[in-house]
Structure formats: structure tokens, C-alpha cells
Amino acid sequence: MSAFRSLSAADLAGRTALVRVDFNVPMEAGRVTDDTRLRAALPTIELLTRKGAKVALLAHFDRPKGRRVPEMSLKPVLSDLSALVGKPVAWADDCIGETAAQTIRDMPAGGVALMENLRFHSGEEANDAGFAADLAKLGDLYVNDAFSAAHRAHASTEGLARLLPAYPGLSMERELNALDAALGHPERPVMGIVGGSKVSTKLDLLKNLVTKLDKLAIGGGMANTFLHAQGHGVGASYCEKDLADTARDIIRLAGENNCKLFLPLDIVVAEQMALNAPSRVRGLGEVDEHERILDAGPETVARLQRAMANSRTLIWNGPLGVFEIPPFDRGTMEAARGAAELVRAGKLVAVAGGGDTVSAMNAAGVADDLSFMSTAGGAFLEWMEGKALPGVEALRI
């Protein structure tokens, strides 16, 4: 983290910190249904307030597209946030201007305020210089604790960081350290598992990973495209047959970069994708035309577990099958539990991320056992693709 300022070492007493957080939380009937993202901000808030800073929290919620939409106000978050912080959090009905400034002036040292939805202003997503300057007027320093928004060059993630002394928050710092350990400066051998349904959405990811990893396993629906490209029948399975040449290019690129590619050895098929539907294990080339490939087979999972055991670092994005519907969850569950066991034994550093991946690891009961679980979604994927993230680059010294 030497490329970034250290918030822990900063002189914060009497200063106002503008802290970008991700409070785009699930809501139902005006109530927060999952406070994970609120909790993620607590260590940074606690550090700042303990050191005597005023904390002004900047966040977006939903997509109001530059208009004030009452249903997309952040105000319903306030009561849950206050309970988690352990004291009342002040509310500002705007994130810029006199309303915001007065809210901050009225706070004592160590106070916390939540500012209204940044995206009520069109200048936020446009990364408008004037809007960023209006935000900067409110504080003395800037802290980005929202890695999940770091792939967006918005006023509160990129523009504002150029105008004030800028720091990564503790959650952001932890994420950057974990990602660097997984792909920046990892212990080798490094293995990747990439699943999900579509090759088309992960082309950049696959092309980047085969140039950096020692091993890459491809699962989920996207594996069907690779099997088809190799001449194996996939029956009625989802398959992007028009990307067969692309799949063959990725196989070739992996070979040129000495990245061992793991494709399924066997698969689980069924005629229906339904709960507890009759299923069977098939070898490659044995899929009937009316059958659908819905999970990795036991031989495939066993080989993945052996490959993980012979690796030092694992990075995982995407399930191996339709994990939401038993019995097609078995491959993902067994592989995830195998990875977690290796982590617990101190034999593997395992970093996983992406929406479906988080859900799958939670379903397997191993989310807390992995070395790091990123909930960042798009930012995690773009980082895996090797792309520079504007919100991270803007923090560099």
C-alpha cells in the first residue's frame, strides 16, 4: 500500500473528512434488508471519529439519473446506520451547498453526518468539475471506502480525489491488499476458477487471466461453449456456438502462456432445470440432444480439488453450475468447501468475488473461511480483467 497515503497515520483532529461509502443497500418497504455494506464502513468511521474528525458520508442509491426522486432518498438508511455507529447520525438533505455545509458546521468533533443521494445531481455520474468542486468545499480531506464504485469515474470517486488530500478507507485498503496478494504479487502456483453462463461477458477476463495464471478452470454455462469448440456435443444446453473460434483462441493463448486450462471431464445433465429434477452424470460426447448440462461432474470436481491442493493462491469468480437449484449445486458446493478447507489449513490464499460467487460461497457456508470475499461486483471483475480503476488510480500518491 506504499502507493497510497495511510489514513491511520494522518492527523485528523479538527478536520472534516468526506468519506465515499457504498450504501446502495437492498431496501424493501423503506427498510434496509441487508446491512452488510453499512457494516463495511464502520471501521473507517470509527477511526476517523476516534481521531477527532467530523465525518460526512457521501453515497449513491439506485439510479435517479440526476433528478430528486423521493423513493431513492438515502434517509431511510439513517436509523440503521445510527444504531450501528452507536450514536445519532446527522442528516443533510443535500450533498452540496449551504444545507450540507450547515449540517457539517453543526456537528461536534467526532460527529457523523449522512448526505443525501449524490446521484440526485447529474454532475455526479458526469464527473462534472463544478460538482466535484462543490463537494470539495465541504471538507479538508477525502476518503474512498467504496471499492465497489471504484470502476466508475464519477465526481465522488475520481474528480473529488483530485481536489483534496485523498486516502483509501480501511475497507478499501483491505480489498486492495487482498487483490494484490491474489493477482498482483501472488504466491505461485496461482489458479483461477471462472464460471457463469456467458463467455461473451467475460472475454476480457479470460484473455487477461490466461496470461497471468498458472492454471485456469472454466465452469458453468461458459464451459459448454469451450466443449462445443472442441467438438463435443452439448445437447440442449446453453451454448454460445458463435463464439467457438473465440474459445479456441483462448485455448491457444493459454498454451502460449503456459497456463494449464481445466475444462470439464464429466458433467451432470438433466432434461429439466428444476428443483430435484432427475439427473445423471455423463462423459464428454455422451449428452443426448434433449439433455442440458447443468453442473460439473464428480471427476471434474475431484480434479479441481487436486489442482487447488497443488496451488498456493486461488482467485474465483462464478459458479460451476446452476447452484441455486439442487442437485445442480453439488459441484460448486464441494469445490468451495475444498478451497475453504485448504485455507483453514494454511495451504492456500483464496480470494473470491462477484455477485453470484458471493451467493454461492454463502450457500456453501464458507464465505467467512476464505482469505477474502469481495462484494464489489463490477469493480472486482474489471480488476480481474486487468483494467485500471479510476477510483483507485485517483488515490495514488
Q: Tell me the CATH number at 298.
A: 3.40.50.1260
| Known active-site residue 119 | no
Domain boundary, last residue among 136, 169, 202: 169
Residue 277 near residue 231, CB atoms below 8 Å: no
Are 93 and 242 within one domain?
Answer: no
Q: Is residue 174 part of a domain?
A: no
How far, in Å, CA of 319 to CA of 220, rounded?
A: 6
Are 154 and 212 within one domain?
Answer: no
Are 87 and 224 within one domain?
Answer: no
Are 150 and 260 within one domain?
Answer: no
| Known active-site residue 215 | no
Are 146 and 269 within one domain?
Answer: no
Q: Is residue 1 part of a domain?
A: no
- For position 2, what pLDDT does the model report? 65
- The neighbour count for residue 43, using CB atoms within 10 Å, is 15
Closest C-alpha among 58, 52, 50, 47 to residue 16: 52
Are 120 and 243 within one domain?
Answer: no
Q: Is residue 391 part of a domain?
A: no
In the three-class reduction of DSSP (H, G, I as helix; E, B as strand; rest coil), residue 349 is classed as: strand
Closest C-alpha among 203, 211, 244, 200 to residue 225: 244
E strand map for 87-232: 90-92, 112-115, 141-144, 166-168, 190-194, 215-218
- For residue 353, the enclosing domain spans 186-384
Are 194 and 159 within one domain?
Answer: no
* pTM (2 d.p.): 0.88
Q: How many domains does the chain have?
A: 2
- For position 391, what pLDDT does the model report? 96
Q: Is residue 336 part of a domain?
A: yes
Question: Which listed residue (97, 355, 377, 386) is catalytic?
Answer: 355
Query: What is the 3-class SS of 302-338, one letter each residue?
Result: HHHHHHHHCCCEEEEECCCCCCCCCCCCHHHHHHHHH
The tens-digit pLDDT sequence of the chain (397 residues) is 568 999 999 999 999 999 999 999 988 988 999 898 999 999 999 999 999 999 999 999 999 999 999 999 999 999 999 999 999 999 999 999 999 999 999 999 999 999 999 999 999 999 999 999 999 999 999 999 999 999 999 999 999 999 999 999 999 999 999 999 898 899 999 999 999 888 888 989 999 999 999 999 999 999 999 999 999 999 999 999 999 999 999 999 999 999 999 999 999 999 999 999 999 999 998 999 999 999 999 999 999 999 999 999 999 999 999 999 999 999 999 999 999 999 999 999 999 998 789 889 999 999 999 999 998 888 998 998 999 999 999 999 8
Q: Is residue 327 part of a domain?
A: yes
Are 225 and 310 within one domain?
Answer: yes
Q: Is residue 206 part of a domain?
A: yes
Are 158 and 219 within one domain?
Answer: no
Q: Is residue 378 part of a domain?
A: yes
Question: Which listed residue (233, 378, 386, 387) is catalytic?
Answer: 378
Domain boundary, last residue among 120, 138, 169: 169
| Known active-site residue 87 | no
Are 191 and 331 within one domain?
Answer: yes
Domain boundary, last residue among 117, 139, 169: 169
Element at 266 (helix H, strand E):
strand 266-270
Q: Please name the residues in contact with 286: beta carbons below 8 A apart, sequence gap of 6 or more.
A: none
- For position 309, what pLDDT does the model report? 98
Question: Which listed residue (198, 212, 303, 387) is catalytic?
Answer: 198
Are 149 and 286 within one domain?
Answer: no
Q: Is residue 397 part of a domain?
A: no
Are 205 and 147 within one domain?
Answer: no
| Known active-site residue 221 | no
